[in-house]
Amino acid sequence: MFRSVVFFLLTLTTQIGGLAFLLFIWLKKYLKWKRTYQQLALFLAFYLFCSLMVLPIVAPAFGRTPLPLYATNKQGIKPASLLACLMNRHYVKPALKEAIVAASKAMGANVTLVYLDGNFPFWNGFPLLPHKSHDDGEKLDLAFIYQSRKDQTLLNKGKGLLGYGVVEPPISGEVNQPAICEHRGYWQYSLLKRLVPQRKAPEYAFSESHNRQLLAILAKDHRIDKIFIEPHLKARLKLGVYAKIRFHGCAAVRHDDHIHIQL
Ligand SMILES: [Zn+2]
């Protein structure tokens, strides 16, 4: 029973963790270390080996590739959270990786694109909770770009919980889609905003110029099919000409804390 629960939880949270756990149970009878903490440490090491060394080699055979774990001179892309990568949430189809690498080059060397959740490495239809749609390698979330209010330097990091939840809300005169959705009874729409402290890195403001530039580059990329942000941001950034940039519907969650793109 205990092993079934562990298998289920590890599979749900990391996709390959359950399989690594079964393999480890089979392997451990050959090990000399028998104490619980020793076996826990060995399992962690075995899991990390599978996640960091084996998966990046195997996943391309199944049509998915990992996004970079850190930015370099050649590509300015990095994750908001290494923990999410250790949970194998940063896999995408190669075309999506190419699109994001191209976007980072077009943004210039100053800007590092920060990605949030992608997809698991295997199997279409395997859910990446709590997302509804990140299950086929074709979806990726990106952090907005934030700039210092004092000296214009860029934050080059995500805000909030693993990059989610710190919102750039509607201001007076803008369409307030979160209020409309909540009024219609979609209680989950702004749930994360209520759970996540909003004062993360307040010295860095939402950069209208950089976010506009990034969203226009992504919208012009033929590989990208849809981009979701809140309607008030689309209007504020004057992106009305791009039909690909759309409202995602009240059944989702608000998208003024991150950008969602998909092939
Ligand atoms: Zn998304």
Confidence (pLDDT) at 84: 93
Cα-to-centroid distance, 248 and ligand 1 (Å): 10
Averaged pLDDT score across all residues of the chain: 92
pLDDT in tens, 190-220: 888 888 888 878 889 999 999 999 999 999 9
* Cα 131 to middle of ligand 1, angstroms: 7
Confirm if 182 and 189 have CB atoms less than 8 A apart: yes
CA 180 to chain centre: 26
| Model pTM above 0.95 | no
First to last CA, the chain: 40
Decide which of 3 and 143 is more confident: 143
According to the model, what pLDDT value does residue 93 have?
A: 97
Q: How far is the CA of 8 from the centre of ligand 1 (A)?
A: 24
Ligand 1 centroid distance, CA of 14 (Å): 18
Picking from 50-59, 157-166, 238-247, 252-261, which range would have the lowest pLDDT averaged per residue?
157-166
Within a 10 A sphere around the Cβ of 188, how many other Cβ atoms?
14
Question: What's residue 2's pLDDT?
Answer: 85
| 187: three-class secondary structure by DSSP | coil
Q: How far, in Å, from the CA of 225 to the mean position of ligand 1?
A: 13
pLDDT at res. 233 = 96
Ligand 1 centroid from CA 25, angstroms: 35
User: How far away, in angstroms, is 209 Cα from ligand 1 center?
Assistant: 22
Summarised one tens digit per residue, pLDDT across range 12-58 is: 999 998 998 998 888 888 877 778 788 888 889 989 999 999 999 99
pLDDT value of position 29: 80
**Separation of CA 139 and ligand 1 centre (Å):** 6
Burial bucket for residue 66 (CB in 10 Å: 0-12, 13-18, 19+): buried
Q: Distance, CA 70 to ligand 1 centroid (Å)?
A: 21
Centre of ligand 1 from the C-alpha of residue 217, in Å: 18
Sorting pLDDT into bands at 50, 70 and 90, what band is 234? very high
The single residue listed with the structure tokens 């994750």 is 79
Which pLDDT band holds residue 156 (cuts at 50, 70, 90)?
confident
Calculate how far, in angstroms, residue 117's C-alpha sits from the geometric centre of ligand 1.
7
Please report the pLDDT score of residue 158 as a whole number.
85
Tell me how far apart the alpha carbons of residues 56 and 66 are, in angstroms, rounded to a whole number.
Answer: 6
